[in-house]
Chain A
């Protein structure tokens, strides 16, 4: 996929950027770096055969989860995907229990019963990552239904990849959400590839036109610019919270790594030059860091300090997970029924 036109990293603050505020601008940077460092360690744990199962890395897409979750309240709901570590962390999950879950340990968020693709956490409103592509669209819409019914003021965000555009359930939920004016935001993370297939080979027509057909508010933005994500999310989430209905937000992004960690030989479905172009020209962390410095929000030393602090935290979290015990085999029959 052609990257969106590169924004000038040193571009001046727009009025929308100014409205974000210094603390949030830095917090979003911190969150993006945290996810990047987390995922780099996942890659390392997986390639060292310490992590069972599959690992789908979010590296390259960090601005979307961070920009959107920055707008959400702690009790707002999200549903996530197989590529979900970033969403969970951005919503407030702690890395130590995340790593523990990824390694199948008792201390993990799901006591080792869910793993990488099923992390769920009621404390942060995380209804769960879902390994069925598009499978959580109903859950997010239903949570929004309950929020409206119970008048809690909560909203729900349904994260999904562009691969879910091929699933019928998504369109049923778009219809229900718009019909009943439910406070749910459908966030399409379009990283260009359905597994190992370019989305143009699987997707007819125009993506936002799908939402438009339901009469749903929609927007397509540069998913590599965390400030743009935050600003668009603010508008759509506030609107939903006011009872003005759902929205569809397409974020154009890129998956730096393969579909999963084992997907190494990728040249047959996408050229290395394309990958390099996104990594060097469109990296959300680099772009935001340069913008923060160019606009005097933070200097290099401050950004380096954030990174150093997070490296220490992530390494400790990995240690915690590695040293945590596996669940006793007797736990296998617990939790089938409430």
Chain B
């Protein structure tokens, strides 16, 4: 736990991920990383800069622009004794690797009656407001969350990112990590130098409160915390809960919080329709309905292709003012 750790420094979200990968590669020679421009270039986001100097080009492997091709190669390599980390750069390219992830990686353990394992990590990014327009800005973490056989990780802090990433590498299943690309530099926080993991399937209460629960994922955790801070000014004490993994899902922590506060907002940067927020809202409604004093309400990205122009794009993602307005409405304290 962070509270008891020694050798804690402040790291950026991106550096925490790099540290996780480096530590796991030092620990286990079967861990490799492959993707487009991951070696000398250190990825297009410069998150992996320097790793190739330590581990060489045999383990930090530049691939052709062939996302489906090297994802499939990663599946086979995982079955045959390696622990590949497959770097997909933009989460939007999920569309290109879907067959290898969904029909192959996710199903092989089950289809083989438990005989073959696929211990691999798919790294993807998510998040808008980078002026990258409709094909480089989506948050598609709902898609793999729909598929049995996959685990899906959406870290929001540097501490969680390092610990969850290390847990993902050690997991014997295909794990899909969505890293919020705006967070790489913008989000900083305390990270121990020590070897630690954050287990997959354990939610974290990021802020304690008694009036309303905000269940938030990835980038929306920071927005929820900013909103909660503003809500203090109007006398609303918000609790912010981060599930940290979409699957496995720690329902108990979410439900316990909602039972305590009796109100619930779900915040997610993915699309609201048929998405992660809908699933979380249904979970709360099914298990905490009689403890609720207001409808469970979603706050998600607008249901539009992400536009390019800043004046348009910025309207598509929920912000802390949206949190305040919605919480006031649900708590009837306007």
Q: What is A's interface to B at a CB cutoff of 8 Å?
A: 77, 79, 108-114, 118, 120-122, 127-128, 130, 132, 135-147, 149-150, 154, 156, 168-169, 172-173, 175-176, 179, 334-338
Contacts and interface: CB of A to CB of B under 8 A. Distances in A.
A196 to B, nearest CB: 23
Given A143-B77, A336-B110, A173 B72 contact: yes
Nearest to A150: B81
Given A110-B112, A138-B104, A143 B70 contact: no
Contact of B111 (A114, A121, A137, A150): A114
B73 A173 contact: yes
A150 B58 CA distance: 11
B61 to A, nearest CB: 9
Given A135-B104, A146-B81, A141 B32 contact: no
B100 interface: yes
Nearest to A158: B76
Given A146-B81, A337-B173, A338-B172, A137 B72 contact: yes
Contacts of B151: 337
Q: Which of B84, B111, B114, B117 has the most CB of A within 10 A?
A: B111
B66 A128 contact: no
Interface of B: 30, 32, 58, 63-64, 66, 68-82, 84, 99-100, 103-104, 108-119, 148-149, 151, 172-173
A142 B73 contact: yes
B76 A127 contact: yes
Contacts of B74: 138, 142
A335 B112 CA distance: 9
B72 to A, nearest CB: 2
Given A114-B113, A176-B63, A335-B113, A142 B108 contact: no
15 contacts: A79-B76, A118-B111, A120-B113, A122-B116, A138-B70, A138-B104, A141-B72, A142-B79, A146-B79, A172-B72, A173-B72, A175-B64, A337-B172, A338-B114, A338-B118
B98 to A, nearest CB: 11
B76 A145 contact: yes
B81 A118 contact: no
Nearest to B248: A337
Given A137-B72, A138-B72, A337-B109, A149 B77 contact: yes
B148 A336 contact: yes
Nearest to A110: B113
Contacts of A156: 76
A179 B58 CA distance: 14
Contacts of B103: 132, 135
A164 to B, nearest CB: 13
**Closest CB pairs A-B (n = 8):** A138-B72, A142-B76, A172-B69, A146-B80, A111-B113, A110-B113, A139-B76, A338-B172
Contacts of B112: 109-110, 113-114, 118, 120, 122, 128
Contact of B75 (A113, A138, A149, A334): A138
Contacts of B117: 338
Contacts of B72: 135, 137-139, 141-142, 169, 172-173
B104 A139 contact: yes
B99 A120 contact: no
B76 A108 contact: no
Nearest to A101: B113
A3 to B, nearest CB: 34
Q: Which of B103, B109, B113, B115 has the most CB of A within 10 A?
A: B113
B70 A176 contact: yes
B68 A169 contact: yes
A334 B71 CA distance: 26
Contacts of A138: 68-76, 100, 104
A110 B111 contact: yes
A168 B75 CA distance: 17
Contacts of A77: 80
A108 B114 CA distance: 12
A322 B30 CA distance: 42
A118 B107 CA distance: 10
A325 B163 CA distance: 44
Contacts of A338: 109, 114, 117-119, 172-173
A142 B111 contact: no
A143 B80 contact: yes
A37 B259 CA distance: 64
A248 B72 CA distance: 19
Contacts of A169: 68-69, 72, 99-100
Q: Which of B30, B80, B110, B119 has the most CB of A within 10 A?
A: B80
Contact of B114 (A137, A168, A334): A334
Given A127-B79, A337-B173, 8 more contacts: A113-B110, A128-B112, A132-B104, A139-B76, A141-B73, A169-B69, A173-B69, A336-B148
Contacts of A130: 104
Contact of A113 (B30, B111, B172): B111
A135 B99 contact: yes
A127 to B, nearest CB: 6
B79 A143 contact: yes
A77 B81 CA distance: 12
Contacts of A149: 32, 58, 77, 82
Nearest to A334: B114
A122 B114 contact: no
B114 A145 contact: no
A176 B118 CA distance: 20
A147 B79 CA distance: 11
B68 A141 contact: no
